[in-house]
Structure 1
């Protein structure tokens, strides 16, 4: 089998086309948002929201509502609860996040265990890319398009908020409102990524692309380009490899993104571990020669 046949064969199946479409949409959206999450230091918040949507999805199944609706409700609920616990107690944000997301996630696991179902609800946890329906794809497209447009249209405001909330306030912006909007977009993005890799791996798609791009450039605008390109490339590679290895598709998508991060971490021209060590050796050699 030649390279063209390897590339074309998976595309002859409708389920693979849907899987690729959802993967690319989720990867690009998560990557763009991850740039702000990495800069602000909200990695743990991404973990919290992505896990907290689990009971909403299960409850939506129980009442016959769209999964996305239940996930959105509990995503926003998680954000509100974290803010409420943080603002009305002596607990710091990391403690509030840990309490809220573990409690809601555990609630979701309990609901799955006691809910009689002809549908394997474990797909919510681990993802089911190859089982994405046409309705699921439309949900991802609509929620993804809305989130993408808001992120792009308000990117300058979000960037100023990420770098200097005080300056943003001086210019007439409301930092609390900006933070709330970003958290709302995080909840919507988690719903999109949930369709691709499940609750467990959403946080990886929300962090790895931004972290990878951060090691490659000092310019935030460039990050917003590099992150989605690398994320989408890793996503497509993961789907193809999972097809030929008959492996977990969601897991392979995240693994591919993780391997890209490792390669950048080691070999990035400016920030890579190997490049840094070589630069140190060159400086030592130059000093010894000069001495």
Structure 2
């Protein structure tokens, strides 16, 4: 079966659309995460979201909705605790990371009736995303894009020099809390695609690959979106060809892109010096 034939299937078209919107949201938010060095915090939010999934299964509501609420509360909690002088940032992350996973495991096992396959949430499967998931991703990517266009310069100042932003009387704390909410929503929106275990990768791998070629914040966003989408497309084709999970394939292909770009840049640098 070639690519043209695959496009005739609704699940594959959904995967392509989902990949596009996820690449936009993750490309924008991931650039903020990498430049502000929030990778570990984002990992804590990602794993804490499992608590919301377990609660959703227990009470019979949408796991994605409950995961979104739980992730937002966890993100705000981590941000609040990490700003306190009596709590270290890594300790605050560990509290919500482990609490979310514990709550998720307990409530998922206590859930009445048939419990869905939790591996779908842990490792994701882009081929199972629904129209509702695509709409959620589209809305998140649109909101994040509009917000960054409107407040691009304050976000850049806060990302690189928080104290300078405060000296310019920017609402730094408000922006930081709001960005944590956006990070949480972006992570939850991508859960069905690549799962809890791998979600943080889509928020970091395209960015560090883009950073090989540019140090401009704006260019890094554009490159991250493009690299993220290429990684998703390559992972989809790899998943179909080898019959392996799509989430892991996307991340593997994204890492492959990074390695090729890094080696290519190093070779070019050595040759240019000689």
What is the CA–CA distance in structure 1 between the aligned matches of 2:233 and 2:175, rounded to whole Å? 32
TM-score (norm 1): 0.86
What is the CA–CA distance in structure 1 between the aligned matches of 2:32 and 2:126, rounded to whole Å? 26
Residue 102 of structure 1, aligned match among 80, 98, 102: 98
What is the CA–CA distance in structure 1 between the aligned matches of 2:63 and 2:153, rounded to whole Å? 32
How many residue pairs were aligned? 273
CA pair 143-224 structure 1, distance change in 2 beyond 3 A: closer
Identify the range of structure 1 (221-230 vs 162-171) with the bigger mean alpha-carbon deviation. Answer: 162-171
What is the CA–CA distance in structure 1 between the aligned matches of 2:6 and 2:201, rounded to whole Å? 25
8 A contact 1:147–1:189 mirrored in 2: no
Identify the range of structure 1 (165-174 vs 140-149) with the bigger mean alpha-carbon deviation. Answer: 140-149
* 1:46 lines up with 2:42 in the alignment: yes
* 1:224 lines up with 2:248 in the alignment: no
RMSD: 2.0
How many Å apart are 1:89 and its aligned residue? 5.8
What is the CA–CA distance in structure 2 between the aligned matches of 1:140 and 1:172, rounded to whole Å? 33
- Other structure's SS at 1:190 match: helix
* 1:243 lines up with 2:240 in the alignment: yes
- Other structure's SS at 2:2 match: helix
What is the CA–CA distance in structure 2 between the aligned matches of 1:80 and 1:133, rounded to whole Å? 29
CA pair 178-190 structure 1, distance change in 2 beyond 3 A: same
8 A contact 1:58–1:111 mirrored in 2: yes
* 1:34 lines up with 2:30 in the alignment: yes
- Residue 71 of structure 1 is matched in structure 2 by 67
The equivalences for 1:112-127 within 5 A come to: 112-115=108-111, 116-127=113-124
Deviation string 1:250-279 (CA, Å, 9 cap, x unpaired) is 1111111111111122212xxx3x445556
8 A contact 1:208–1:257 mirrored in 2: yes
The equivalences for 1:1-291 within 5 A come to: 6-88=2-84, 90-115=86-111, 116-268=113-265, 272=266, 274-277=267-270, 282=274
Could you list the runs of 5+ residues in structure 2 that have no partner in the other structure?
A: none
What is the CA–CA distance in structure 2 between the aligned matches of 1:126 and 1:277, rounded to whole Å? 39
Structure with bigger gyration radius: 1
8 A contact 1:10–1:243 mirrored in 2: no
What is the CA–CA distance in structure 2 between the aligned matches of 1:40 and 1:143, rounded to whole Å? 21
Deviation string 1:83-102 (CA, Å, 9 cap, x unpaired) is 34334563321222123212
CA pair 63-141 structure 1, distance change in 2 beyond 3 A: farther
What is the CA–CA distance in structure 1 between the aligned matches of 2:66 and 2:163, rounded to whole Å? 35
What is the CA–CA distance in structure 1 between the aligned matches of 2:149 and 2:6, rounded to whole Å? 32
- Other structure's SS at 1:53 match: helix
What is the CA–CA distance in structure 1 between the aligned matches of 2:182 and 2:15, rounded to whole Å? 23
Could you list the runs of 5+ residues in structure 1 that have no partner in the other structure?
A: 283-291
Identify the range of structure 1 (62-71 vs 213-222) with the bigger mean alpha-carbon deviation. Answer: 62-71
8 A contact 1:24–1:236 mirrored in 2: no
CA pair 277-242 structure 1, distance change in 2 beyond 3 A: same
CA pair 279-93 structure 1, distance change in 2 beyond 3 A: farther
8 A contact 2:120–2:195 mirrored in 1: yes
